[in-house]
Chains A and B, each alone.
Chain A
């Protein structure tokens, strides 16, 4: 029924999903408001940094260097984490990662887990996997709790419930927490979440987290957050299981000095996140007695192997590209059919699905370049979008695909452009062909086929009687030049 799903087998194209979501005026209003606020905050704290461009460049270089030597740094991380009492697991794909986590949760003897917001666990559908074996996962981030209780899907990588406003959130909490008199002030809603989760934090013995950074040099892990739910999950359980994509490793502790400046300012417009936690393996008498980390590939090595797309893996999941994106601003995140929405989702999702689905996503962009401009690690998203579009065209023009109307039109246009004579002829032909469509005032208000999208909301003025080149040549002749 609903077009909103993240299941690659059922997900509609971006175009279809977007068309339907554009009708949700409340959601669009919520998204516009939230992205306007967050962009404004980001701008203030970025503009106060005279060395912002230098930080971006360093961030880019650190990521590029790490990806180039990823095997080295992962092994170094594994060695140091193990020395510090952590257990390192490796997972080739989502299914393997899920199986490992489920196994570890069972070993921990708990049928409940408390979770920190983690896009990686969303990516692998961990909650459903746990539910299937009778383990309940409590999302503890406020936004994730809203999503979980509302039986919804995240629409933003930093603020997953950004598409909901306070009244909608109140309705969900009222129903799910049985609080008939709950107010709709953000503080009331946060208080409700605090009370609801406190007991879980103190009771549940197993925690699951993602990671922002894995530090190869020390074997440590860094998680940044705002609410303190992360600290609860990282500190109070007896067993902690962390899942991270292999690209999350950074070479050294010192490198945090770059990312801890870039990330909070880009993500939430804060000078620093309220909380950053850094831990290394197991700390006796402080925190979990057992710590496991799952290093997951899940198509990341495929991206690594593609020179032109490799930079996708530099992403630190700040969401700045989503907040600035004029397309995301209109559609919200669900149109992207993936936990990774917006510009970064448009390049990451199809690649994580190894180009088996999500082919419409690289086209979900006007290539305006705002994402590249704000990206704290300088991922040239438009460049990667264009690269992926080429891959999609290669897929679509295989065999009989070469006969699809768009491909034929493109080939025909290319033919015209490779000959001055043909191009001139086409200009003349165009004027004639257009004539029946032109109204008395000289405007085209309806176009057939592929071009119909244009005249849905726009008119097109008729082609002038004379092309520029005809004018120029005529002028040359009369001027005697």
Chain B
């Protein structure tokens, strides 16, 4: 758009007038690196403390929390889904088949129309990483995690997190995510929620209203 180009030139000109002479990229980079960052960067608790903190935060958000060893995932998934009464679950491509109990129907997302996903009673995924301090799970468009709509439309999300992928702090998480920064990414911390009415936190609005998390421990 010609108009937009004109606007672009004008806005950049106004900025330069406002801020004075432009610096070169190398100088700007050096200045960025000199920004003071003496906040906590790394974990201050041991592995078990980390797991506890993460579980504690998840429960705080009203998520269900389970621990299991790798060989017990399938049975636990079956048990949780049976308790929840879920018979049809969406799964993204690349979900480990050894996690899937035979008594539940799993519908793989074909990345086309979303209505088959919307029709499922829940979704089962893995995760890229998790942040203990904030009770956050990070999903990316990766095998086992899928496109964003998959974990959004179903009312229930069962997420399997490898405990080795849990970090304590937000800075640790961002450092790990840096290499895949361009991939579509969702951080979720418990079920969808709102506090718009009298600041009362209500669990569950548009995103999944119910979340369970399975931690795979060694």
Contacts and interface: CB of A to CB of B under 8 A. Distances in A.
B11 A57 contact: no
A275 interface: yes
A7 interface: no
Contacts of A165: 198
A218 B182 contact: yes
Interface stretch (A19-27, A58-66, A331-339, A448-456): A58-66
Interface stretch (B1-9, B70-78, B158-166): B1-9
A165 B38 CA distance: 42
Nearest to B190: A274
Contact of B206 (A57, A89, A227, A270): A227
Contacts, number: 259
Interface string B164-203: 0000001101110110011111111111111111111010
Q: How large is the interface on A (under 10, 10 to 19, 20 to 34, 35 or more residues)?
A: 35 or more
B86 to A, nearest CB: 19
A283 B173 CA distance: 22
A162 B186 CA distance: 27
A297 interface: yes
B141 A283 contact: yes
A397 interface: no
Given A37-B199, A228-B207, A231-B152, A58 B36 contact: yes
Nearest to A187: B202
Given A90-B4, A285-B111, A159 B35 contact: no
Interface stretch (A141-149, A371-379, A435-443): A141-149
A271 B152 contact: no
A94 to B, nearest CB: 12
Contacts of B17: 301, 305
A157 to B, nearest CB: 13
A68 to B, nearest CB: 6
Interface string A4-32: 00000000000000000000000000100
A70 B15 contact: yes
B82 interface: no
B36 A61 contact: yes
Contacts of A41: 199
Interface in A178-213: 186-187, 189-190, 193-194, 197-198, 201-202
B35 A62 contact: yes
A141 B197 CA distance: 12
Given A72-B23, A271-B134, A231 B15 contact: no
B142 to A, nearest CB: 11
A273 B136 CA distance: 9
A199 B103 CA distance: 31
A84 B183 CA distance: 10
A254 B174 contact: yes
B104 interface: no
Interface in A261-289: 261, 264, 268, 270-280, 283, 285-287
Interface string B1-39: 101110110111011111100110100100110011111
Nearest to B9: A90
Q: How large is the interface on B (under 10, 10 to 19, 20 to 34, 35 or more residues)?
A: 35 or more
Interface stretch (A245-253, A345-353, A380-388, A419-427): A245-253
Contacts of A256: 174
Contacts of A58: 35-39
B217 interface: no
A261 to B, nearest CB: 5
A286 B141 contact: yes
Contact of A51 (B1, B40, B182, B207): B40
Contact of B194 (A71, A190, A253, A278): A190
A358 interface: no
Given A91-B7, A194-B205, A286-B111, A70 B196 contact: no
Given A246-B11, A272-B136, A276-B187, A251 B32 contact: yes
Contacts of B133: 271
Contacts of B1: 89, 100
Contacts of A89: 1, 4, 7
Contact of B189 (A75, A270, A277, A304): A270
Ordered nearest first, which 10 A-B pairs have the shortest CB separation?
A: A228-B207, A305-B18, A228-B206, A286-B147, A301-B14, A272-B134, A227-B205, A228-B192, A276-B187, A37-B199
Given A254-B178, A274-B189, 15 more contacts: A33-B199, A96-B3, A219-B182, A226-B192, A226-B195, A227-B192, A258-B37, A272-B136, A272-B170, A274-B207, A275-B188, A277-B185, A278-B186, A302-B18, A305-B18
Interface of B: 1, 3-5, 7-8, 10-12, 14-19, 22-23, 25, 28, 31-32, 35-40, 57, 61, 111, 114-115, 118, 131, 133-136, 141, 147-149, 152, 170-171, 173-175, 177-178, 181-200, 202, 204-208
Interface of A: 30, 33-34, 37-38, 41, 50-51, 54-55, 57-58, 61-62, 65, 67-72, 74-75, 84, 89-92, 96, 100, 140-143, 146, 159, 161-162, 165-166, 169, 186-187, 189-190, 193-194, 197-198, 201-202, 215, 217-220, 226-229, 231-232, 234-236, 246, 251-254, 256-258, 260-261, 264, 268, 270-280, 283, 285-287, 295, 297, 301-302, 304-305
26 contacts: A34-B199, A51-B40, A58-B38, A61-B35, A70-B15, A70-B19, A71-B22, A89-B4, A89-B7, A140-B206, A186-B197, A215-B181, A227-B192, A227-B193, A227-B194, A228-B192, A228-B205, A236-B149, A254-B174, A260-B187, A271-B134, A275-B186, A275-B207, A280-B184, A287-B147, A304-B15
